[in-house]
Structure 1
Amino acid sequence: MTPLHRSLGCLSLEAVPPVDYWHSAAHPPGLSPGGLHLWKICTGCEGAPLAQLWPLLSQRESERVAKLRFDRHRARYVRAQAGLRMILSGYLGVEPEAIGFQYGKAGKPLLEDTASGLEFNLTNSGDLALVALSVGAPVGVDCEQIRDRGDMVAIAERMFTPEQAARIAAATPEDRLQQFHIAWTALEAQVKADGRGLLDRHQPAAQDALQIEHCVPEPGFIAAVARGRLPPVGEWVTMTLSAD
């Protein structure tokens, strides 16, 4: 039985704990090994003004924005990437625009300067982005807005294990929507934590065991975090990035 199987089981959305308290922090509290910090960024029109965020982006990030077709997608990307830099700045004590990244084989961003031991991962869906932070242990996070994905049984048969696909196929339409998103976020968080990416999901994992925990960051969304060992969701430090 893989870690992903153990994590999911017959998990229902009703059993996934909501994160209903997010506090705004001018400076992040200390993050020790074993702890997990989760930040929320509003990437929609209620988020931070774009004019003050553009200067924080790197040339690579600015070029990525220019390739996006729709204004709302560009705005979401800018708020997510600049928000990530602002969050990391509080932990590293450097200006957001001065933070350098390196990229893994599948494109996972990592800090260029690894001296702090800080690990992070960013995810976004709709007008919501999440950043998970850890010390000394790679972490992956995925967040999805729960919505119809078309032929979810066919997607499950292609992407998930036979056991997961069979469970999704046997579920009622309402349960199928929930089970699909629980399995999808777990898979994404897992391959982001170890850096494989979805295309190499069938390759041996870099880490033998990853623990996966789910939460509901906002109504209508589900998120999963993956790491070697995780504290219970109730012990996560959950913060929101101010739009001011």
Structure 2
Amino acid sequence: MYPTPTVVTWQTVSEPPALAADGLHLWYLATDRGDAAPRRGLDWLSPEQRQRADAMRNPEVRNRYLHTQIGLRRILSGYLGHHPRDLVIARANNGKPFVADQPGGLEFNLSTTEGLTLIGVGRHEPLGVDCERLRTRTTLDAIARRLFEPSIAAAIEAAGPDERIQLFHLAWTALEADVKADGRGLFRSRPATAPAPTIRHLIPAAGYVAAVARIGLPPRRAWLTLMLRDDAEGTEG
């Protein structure tokens, strides 16, 4: 039903490399750091982001959010040549985030789950990214019947326990990445004239599965899979 996902090897870098017009960069942020707050970058965030973080009573949840948003700004600013605090990250009417006032056609999407955040970056074509930790769900079959194609739901229901969990998360991440690429949401159909994106799966870390969706998605061998170096956590100033 789905090809076997590729196990990803992450290249550690201090700043983004050059991004080709048809390229794809996928970034891994380790966010499960307990009570370890970011050392720098809080002043890069917008007032709304700081207010949102301040409202989070669970310190682990708050710090995961801060590591994600600071890391995202550091990554995007590296492509655009701006200071991270100067980026304006806005939301379209459908809720999809984008970088405002930038002429380079930079597109990004992110997915956060327990312990990690994945960020996909490309140019010109919108993309969607989703990552999930593999886990059992008591309502797995009901969700599959409601949201997936009947053949996929039937295959999940017929599978053994371990395969069922794997198949479900492959289907779920594919669906999420697809709808995040165009921002239409889970319960809206794709317009009849709109082309479907290419979707590919990967394993970002043991116990997780992820999917990337984009029209014109390059083959996996052409992707760069990157991780920010911890010893360069933030830009000075």
TM-score in terms of structure 2 length: 0.91
1:17 corresponds in structure 2 to 6
Residue range with higher mean Cα deviation, 89-98 or 46-55: 46-55
Aligned residue among 121, 130, 148 for 2:136: 148
Cα deviation, 1:210-237, whole Å, max 9, x if unaligned, reads: 0000000111111100000112222211
Q: Is 2:86 the counterpart of 1:98? A: yes
Residue aligned with 1:52, SS? coil
Is contact 2:36-2:63 (8 Å) kept?
Answer: no
* Distance across 2 between alignment mates of 1:119 and 1:42: 22
Counterpart amino acid of residue 242 in structure 1: R
Q: Is 2:183 the counterpart of 1:183? A: no
* Distance across 2 between alignment mates of 1:212 and 1:36: 13
1:1-244 superposed matches below 5 A: 10-11=1-2, 15-20=4-9, 22-45=10-33, 49-198=37-186, 200-204=187-191, 207-244=194-231
Is contact 2:89-2:100 (8 Å) kept?
Answer: yes
> How many angstroms does 1:205 deviate by?
7.0
Unaligned runs of 5+ in 2: 232-237
Is contact 1:121-1:131 (8 Å) kept?
Answer: yes
Counterpart amino acid of residue 216 in structure 2: R
* CA gap 1:38/1:157 in 2 versus in 1, 3 angstroms: same
TM-score in terms of structure 1 length: 0.88
Residue aligned with 1:123, SS? strand
* CA gap 1:96/1:47 in 2 versus in 1, 3 angstroms: farther
Cα deviation, 1:170-209, whole Å, max 9, x if unaligned, reads: 11111110011000100110111111122x4335378412
* Distance across 1 between alignment mates of 2:20 and 2:209: 26
Residue range with higher mean Cα deviation, 128-137 or 226-235: 226-235
* CA gap 1:205/1:29 in 2 versus in 1, 3 angstroms: farther
Is contact 1:46-1:243 (8 Å) kept?
Answer: no
Counterpart amino acid of residue 175 in structure 1: E
* Distance across 1 between alignment mates of 2:19 and 2:170: 27
| RMSD, matched Cα | 1.9
Is contact 2:42-2:70 (8 Å) kept?
Answer: yes
Unaligned runs of 5+ in 1: 1-9
* Distance across 1 between alignment mates of 2:178 and 2:193: 11
* CA gap 1:206/1:150 in 2 versus in 1, 3 angstroms: farther
Cα deviation, 1:91-145, whole Å, max 9, x if unaligned, reads: 0111111100221223110111141110001111111111100111111100111
User: % of aligned pairs identical?
Assistant: 44
